[in-house]
Amino acid sequence: MRSDCVVIIPTYNEKENIENIIRAVFGLEQPFDMLIIDDGSPDGTATIVKRLMANEFKDRLHLIERTGKLGLGTAYIAGFKWAVAQKYDYVFEMDADFSHNPNDLPRLYAACAQEGYDVAIGSRYVNGVNVVNWPMGRILMSYYASKYVRIITGLKINDTTAGFKCYRRRVLETIELDKVRFKGYAFQIEMKFTAKQCGFKIKEVPVIFVNRELGTSKMSGGIFSEAVFGVIRLRLDGWFRHYPKPS
């Protein structure tokens, strides 16, 4: 039987992590389907996924291959559209590198499916600072970036840049996905801001974020700058743009 949940994981050069994260998600007691969106990884990430699709996880594991490194935001938009077309009720965002703990997926699911929230955020900052193995400079940059976003946008969310989330399908059906403009770090902020502007209920679920042990981080100064300056544009949108409401 197909799950009502799908976990979307964008990948670029994640051969060290991809099989382990897939097995970890499928090893949970609660069933989750998975969609991997690979941006032409030259290290063979997609080949590993195809092997697992063919041998062990047929009908539960899915793959979208794209040509070139097109950006985190566009990967998730492609995944959201696919998940909505497939009628999954709950759609998750998650990293491949175990910085997001698969064991927290059922907690995010419960916030939406049992507690009635529309978006559940795996939050590093709702109960202090729950980050492991990050340099202090990066912790401070991330923490105060979220503070900055809250001030500019008015969002009552502690971890505005979090990328570990669960959406009810109706959120993704309501948000005009083709109008989401940011591709990098600011994508995560824009999705939260837009969901709030559309009137959806958001809950932060405390999680512990662990820095990757294998592979290479995709974070860059340009991606972070997009978030810093992009939030001003989001605030202006909030004043002048008409946001759709849930049907």
pLDDT tens-digit series, residues 130-150: 777 667 776 777 777 778 888
pLDDT score of 225 more than 90? no
Q: What residues form DSSP beta bridges with 10?
A: 37
Reported confidence tier of residue 126, pLDDT bands at 50, 70, 90:
confident
Of 98, 79, 209, 100, nearest to 164 (Cα)?
Answer: 100
Q: What is the pLDDT of residue 210?
A: 86
Q: What is the pLDDT of residue 109?
A: 98
Reported for 29-33, long-range contacts at CB under 8 A and 24+ positions apart, including other chains, are 29/106, 30/5, 30/105, 30/106, 30/109, 31/1, 31/3, 31/5, 31/60, 32/3, 32/5, 32/6, 32/7, 32/92, 32/105, 33/2, 33/3, 33/5, 33/6, 33/7, 33/60, 33/61, 33/62, 33/88
Higher pLDDT, 166 or 140: 166
pLDDT at 206 over 60: yes
pLDDT band at 212 (very low <50, low <70, confident <90, very high): low
More confident residue, 135 or 205: 205
Residues 81-118 pLDDT 10s: 999 999 999 999 999 999 999 999 999 999 999 999 99
- Predicted confidence (pLDDT) at residue 39 exceeds the cutoff of 50: yes
219, pLDDT greater than 80: no
**Burial 106-120, CB ≥16 within 10 A → b, else e:** eebbebbbeeebbbb
Q: Angle 136-153/221-240 helices, nearest 10 degrees?
A: 10
Confidence of residue 215 (pLDDT cuts 50, 70, 90): very low
Mean pLDDT throughout 173-177?
95
Report, as an integer, the average pLDDT of 196-203: 95
pLDDT at 220 over 60: no
User: Which pLDDT band holds residue 238 (cuts at 50, 70, 90)?
Assistant: low
Q: Quick: pLDDT tens for 46-82.
A: 999 999 999 899 999 999 999 888 888 999 999 999 9
